[in-house]
Amino acid sequence: MRAVAYSIKSSEKEPLAIANRKKHDITLISNALSEDTVVYAEGKEAVIVFVDDEVSEKVINRLADLGIKYIATRSTSVEHIDKQAAVSRNIRIANVPASILKEGSQEALSMALAAETILNLDKWQHKKCLGSACICSRACDQHTEWFDPKEDDHEK
């Protein structure tokens, strides 16, 4: 999957590279996502964001116009993302589970955030349900092309 990761700090580069294992073509940039930087998503399928990124209705509309289908946040919160705008433009959203916040060191937390973010990209690429990382109100249950019942990761 082709993606651009916004707001990347130097301490996140190595964990993302290790977690990715060259599976996805990810462009890492230090700029935050905003109306001015949305152009970096051109030619990509996904954006990877963090809590400081502007993921407003206006930005989401521009992302959708560029062909973005997925927004993966490297955080447990999705409050920085206009979920209604994403739904209206058929963009899927994923976060990382709160359980990873229990990781001990900053290094371990960075690696866990990276691993969960890459896992979300992997599942999207293979058209599998993201389970508890999915911010979709179980939309994959309603869209059989997105749901493999053998791979139901949603918590019951």
Structure confidence at residue 107 (pLDDT): 85
Query: How far apart are the C-alpha atoms of 59 and 86, rounded to whole Å?
Result: 10
Stretch 127-153: mean pLDDT: 52
Structure confidence at residue 135 (pLDDT): 64
110, two tokens: 């960075």
Higher pLDDT, 147 or 55: 55
Give per-residue pLDDT as tens, 66-77.
999 999 999 999
Biggest CA-to-CA distance, the chain: 42
Q: Tell me the sheet residues that pair with 49.
A: 73
Structure confidence at residue 97 (pLDDT): 87
Banded model confidence at residue 106, pLDDT cuts 50, 70, 90: confident
Structure confidence at residue 48 (pLDDT): 98
Give per-residue pLDDT as tens, 9-60.
999 999 999 999 999 999 999 999 999 999 999 999 999 999 999 999 999 9
Q: Are 76 and 102 in contact (CB under 8 A)?
A: no
